[in-house]
């Protein structure tokens, strides 16, 4: 059977877009840190070529023989690395906000959490295919089946949200786990309970961290005037936050999007990347692209991402092997939730979570890990009746 060439081509195109904007967007960072003019472009180009090669190479492999080995190798090795990296010396790890998130390797740094997401999805797919089905069960029986996964996820919360101070990745994994469990055969009742439980844990994680409370206040300060205008004055007065920090990043993000208009200022001609959006080539890449390509350009890029997701879900739906079905579904969900959380964050619909744009944002680990996941889906596509 043939590999899904459309999915491969669309992913390669999205990577190419990321390479182009790695030259355009990080202008201020390049000047501020006195980097070479092509510093980010060369690194992103090299990573992009490696990613395309990885996707092609994995697509040639027989999933019946190698998918399980690749999936579990990624899962257990990254779980181990996330556990030990916090005890490694500063010379071997890179910190952000006091949390150790990257392991230093010759020439680049590796974020194990990005690869762990792929391995975690495979672990869930493999285990759900064996433990869960559509047979009628009581809620108690379903809870008994799902408890071991909750225990594993508590460990994931500790390693990522606590040790790495990265709640955004945990939210993505929690949503993916809940939806995968539902499609694996759990009831809607259990799914709703899982979502409520996730919201409860999410609120605890926010209110137990000072910097997360500040981030929520910053987000609320951006939208409170618009939202509270819908309420009576006495209720609005109670909900209004007067001492919220100035939401500079979000304000500049919204202004960049507005400044781009319908057709944009042209590639390289954006203004807000010049020191206003400090992470414009990473977390705020969509805002920078919106300014330079306009609403029309972002719409086309969004359609490309949607088509990628559609092709992945199509491969899942056409797979007769339940592990293949659930794994492909999980990879598609990772892209869905990551893209939505980033897009909602830069437009102030939700707080910023530090989630990169799939395929587009600058950064080696995220795009490499996603390319491995796509490569594994391309392996599966040869067995699907497309």
Ordered per-residue pLDDT tens for the chain, 386 residues: 689 999 999 999 999 999 999 998 988 888 877 888 888 899 999 999 999 999 999 999 999 999 999 999 999 999 999 988 888 887 788 766 666 788 887 777 888 999 999 999 999 999 999 888 777 777 788 888 888 888 899 899 888 888 888 888 888 999 999 899 989 988 888 888 877 877 787 777 777 777 777 777 777 777 777 777 777 777 777 677 776 666 677 778 888 898 888 998 988 888 888 877 777 888 888 999 999 999 999 999 999 999 999 999 999 999 999 999 999 999 999 999 999 999 988 888 877 777 889 999 988 899 999 999 999 999 999 998 77
Q: What is the pTM of this model?
A: 0.91
Question: What is the distance between the alpha carbons of residues 303 and 116, in angstroms, rounded to a whole number?
Answer: 27
pLDDT at 243: 66
Give the pLDDT score at 235. Answer: 74
| Residues whose CB is less than 8 angstroms from the CB of residue 101 and which lie 6 or more positions away in sequence, other chains included | 93, 94, 95, 111, 113, 164, 166
Contacts of residue 36, defined as CB under 8 A and 6 or more positions apart, other chains included, come to 30, 42
- The residue behind tokens 């003019």 is 37
List of residues 6+ apart from 27 with CB closer than 8 A: 273, 274
Retrieve residue 229's tokens: 């205008």
Task: Say what the pLDDT of residue 384 is.
Answer: 86
CB 116 within 8 A of CB 75: yes
pLDDT at residue 114 in the model: 94
The answer to whether 147 and 157 have CB atoms below 8 angstroms apart is: no
User: Burial letters for 15-49: b for 16+ Cβ neighbours within 10 Å, e otherwise?
Assistant: bebbbbbbbbbbbbbbeeeeeeeebbbebbbebbe
């Amino acid at each position: 059977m043939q590999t899904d060439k459309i999915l491969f081509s669309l992913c390669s195109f999205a990577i190419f877009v990321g390479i182009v904007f790695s030259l355009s967007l990080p202008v201020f960072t390049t000047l501020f840190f006195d980097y070479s003019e092509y510093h980010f472009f060369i690194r992103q180009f090299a990573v992009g070529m490696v990613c395309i090669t990885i996707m092609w190479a994995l697509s040639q492999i027989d999933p019946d023989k190698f998918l399980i080995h690749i999936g579990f190798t990624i899962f257990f090795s990254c779980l181990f690395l996330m556990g030990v990296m916090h005890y490694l010396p500063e010379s071997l790890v890179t910190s952000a906000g006091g949390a150790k998130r990257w392991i230093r390797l010759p020439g680049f740094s590796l974020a194990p959490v990005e690869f762990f997401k792929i391995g975690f999805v495979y672990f869930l797919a493999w285990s759900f295919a064996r433990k869960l089905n559509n047979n009628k069960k009581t809620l108690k029986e379903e809870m008994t089946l799902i408890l071991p996964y909750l225990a594993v996820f508590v460990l994931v919360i500790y390693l990522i949200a606590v040790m790495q101070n990265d709640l955004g990745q945990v939210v993505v994994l929690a949503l993916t786990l809940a939806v995968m469990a539902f499609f694996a055969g759990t009831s809607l009742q259990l799914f709703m309970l899982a979502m409520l439980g996730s919201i409860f844990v999410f609120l605890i994680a926010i209110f137990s961290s000072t910097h997360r409370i500040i981030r929520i206040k910053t987000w609320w300060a951006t939208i409170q005037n618009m939202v509270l205008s819908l309420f009576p004055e006495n209720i609005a007065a109670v909900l209004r936050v007067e001492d919220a920090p100035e939401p500079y990043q979000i304000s500049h993000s919204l202004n960049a999007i507005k400044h781009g208009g319908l057709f944009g200022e042209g590639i390289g001609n954006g203004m807000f990347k010049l020191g206003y959006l400090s992470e414009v080539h990473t977390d705020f890449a969509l805002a920078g692209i919106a300014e330079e390509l306009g609403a029309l350009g972002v719409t086309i890029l969004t359609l490309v991402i949607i088509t990628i997701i559609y092709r992945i879900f199509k491969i899942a739906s056409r797979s007769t092997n339940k592990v293949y079905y659930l794994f492909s579904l999980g990879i598609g969900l990772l892209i869905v939730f990551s893209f939505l959380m980033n897009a909602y964050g830069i437009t102030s619909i939700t707080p910023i979570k530090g989630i990169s744009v799939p395929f587009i944002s600058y950064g080696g680990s995220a795009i490499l890990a996603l390319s491995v996941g796509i490569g594994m889906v391309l392996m599966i596509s040869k067995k699907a009746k497309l």
